[in-house]
């Protein structure tokens, strides 16, 4: 669209896949490509200085690809601008290129991402620009992110004309939120209940007792129980548990983390306690939900060293890693 507005080709795409063969998108649309990754690596040293590498992913966890990781590190060494879209950001982080950088991660992948890549400054935003490192969660967010590139190269007038052609009524900025505000998501307008839920969402891995939550909002235990029942139709304990199970479910279907670590990351004292609570809500055991999400394929958990084990258990009772027992 920028080419159309400007009247000449100022941007061009070259599509690359691992083996140079066409690839099907998540909706089944087959995309033709220009080169294989091997060919691209062979001629990469002669690429234009203003090239941008865009790693496009889906909502699923990407499999290992040492050749891709090596090429991306070569691109970084040549100061090539890197862009990650959806799970493409996971690929960049896996290659060790996102440590210390601000990254926008889709809210469904966020729990898995922060557990797997603790040194990345992850956020649930529409997109993030950190120097020559750009990321967004997918959906329609790439439109806004790439408009920023066009604005930098050709000015606001071109951006406005593109928005008119695309019938885009507003352009989001870097750092804008992904999800609707809490009061819009749950149609809630009671300020103190919103404050309590905000505390819950920030303390998933180490749950705060309901009495302490009530006190932080200037309420008694009886008042908070009554308000939650009236506003949300459930107790604060039930709502808190549902939040923790939502994070656990996202970790199950988007990450290869062992179930025992997911239980600990979501504030459960043991794997058996987590499995029982999960089964009551989802009607199946956690490992069965993971199998269903991956078409019956077993997902091999990554090795987790002593440092990561300490991060999981810090501030909570030490657990037997094999059984999850306190």
Question: If you average pLDDT over residues 167-171, what whole number do you get?
Answer: 74
Q: What percent of the chain has pLDDT over 90?
A: 52
Question: If you average pLDDT over residues 301-324, what whole number do you get?
Answer: 41
Is the pLDDT assigned to residue 319 strictly greater than 50?
no
Is the pLDDT assigned to residue 313 strictly greater than 80?
no
pLDDT value of position 176 = 66
Number of Cβ atoms within 10 Å of the Cβ of 278: 26
- Domains of the chain, CATH where assigned: 2-165 (3.40.50.880), 182-313 (1.10.10.60)
Number of Cβ atoms within 10 Å of the Cβ of 275: 18
Distance CA 292, CA 310 (A): 31
For 191-216, write each residue's pLDDT tens digit. Answer: 888 889 888 988 998 999 999 999 98
Kindly give, in sequence order, each residue whose CB lies less than 8 Å from that of residue 251, ignoring residues fewer than 6 positions away.
111, 112, 115, 257, 262, 265, 266
Is the pLDDT assigned to residue 23 strictly greater than 70?
yes
What single DSSP character describes residue 298?
Answer: P
- The pLDDT mean for the chain works out to 84
Q: What percent of the chain has pLDDT over 70?
A: 82
Q: Contact at 8 Å (CB) between 94 and 66?
A: no
Q: Which range is least confidently modeled, 20-34, 60-74, 302-316?
A: 302-316
User: Does 314 or 190 have the greater pLDDT score?
Assistant: 190
Question: If you average pLDDT over residues 68-96, what whole number do you get?
Answer: 94
Kindly give, in sequence order, each residue whose CB lies less than 8 Å from that of residue 261, ignoring residues fewer than 6 positions away.
115, 304, 312
For 255-271, write each residue's pLDDT tens digit. Answer: 888 999 999 999 999 99
pLDDT value of position 301 = 52
312 band by pLDDT with thresholds 50, 70 and 90: very low
Is the pLDDT assigned to residue 168 strictly greater than 50?
yes
Is the pLDDT assigned to residue 320 strictly greater than 80?
no
């Amino acid at each position: 669209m920028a080419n159309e507005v400007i009247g000449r080709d100022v941007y061009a795409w070259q599509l690359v896949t691992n083996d140079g063969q066409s690839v099907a998108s998540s909706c089944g649309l087959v995309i033709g490509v220009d080169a294989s990754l091997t060919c691209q690596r062979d001629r990469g040293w002669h690429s234009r200085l203003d090239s941008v590498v865009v790693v496009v992913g889906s909502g699923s966890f990407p499999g290992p690809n040492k050749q891709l990781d090596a090429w991306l590190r070569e691109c970084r060494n040549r100061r090539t601008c890197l862009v990650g879209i959806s799970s493409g950001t996971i690929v960049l982080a896996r290659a060790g290129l996102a440590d210390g950088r601000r990254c926008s991660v889709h809210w469904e992948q966020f729990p898995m991402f922060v557990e797997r890549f603790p040194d990345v400054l992850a956020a649930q935003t529409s997109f993030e620009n950190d120097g020559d490192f750009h990321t967004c969660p997918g959906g329609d967010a790439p439109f806004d992110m790439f408009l920023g590139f066009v604005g930098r190269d050709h000015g606001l007038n071109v951006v406005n004309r593109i928005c008119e052609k695309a019938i885009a009524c507003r352009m989001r900025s870097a750092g804008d939120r992904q999800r609707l505000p809490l009061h819009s998501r749950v149609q809630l307008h009671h300020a103190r209940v919103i404050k309590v839920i905000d505390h819950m969402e920030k303390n998933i891995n180490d749950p705060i007792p309901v009495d302490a939550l009530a006190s932080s909002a200037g309420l008694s235990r009886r008042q908070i129980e009554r308000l939650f029942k009236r506003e949300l139709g459930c107790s604060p304990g039930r709502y808190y548990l549902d939040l923790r199970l939502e994070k656990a479910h996202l970790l199950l279907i988007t990450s290869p983390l062992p179930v025992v670590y997911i239980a600990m990351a979501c504030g459960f004292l043991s794997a058996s306690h987590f499995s029982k609570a999960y089964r009551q809500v989802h009607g199946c055991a956690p490992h069965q939900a993971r199998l269903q999400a991956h078409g019956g394929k077993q997902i091999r958990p990554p090795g987790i060293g002593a440092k990561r084990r300490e991060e999981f258990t810090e501030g909570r009772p030490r657990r037997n890693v094999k059984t999850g027992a306190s």
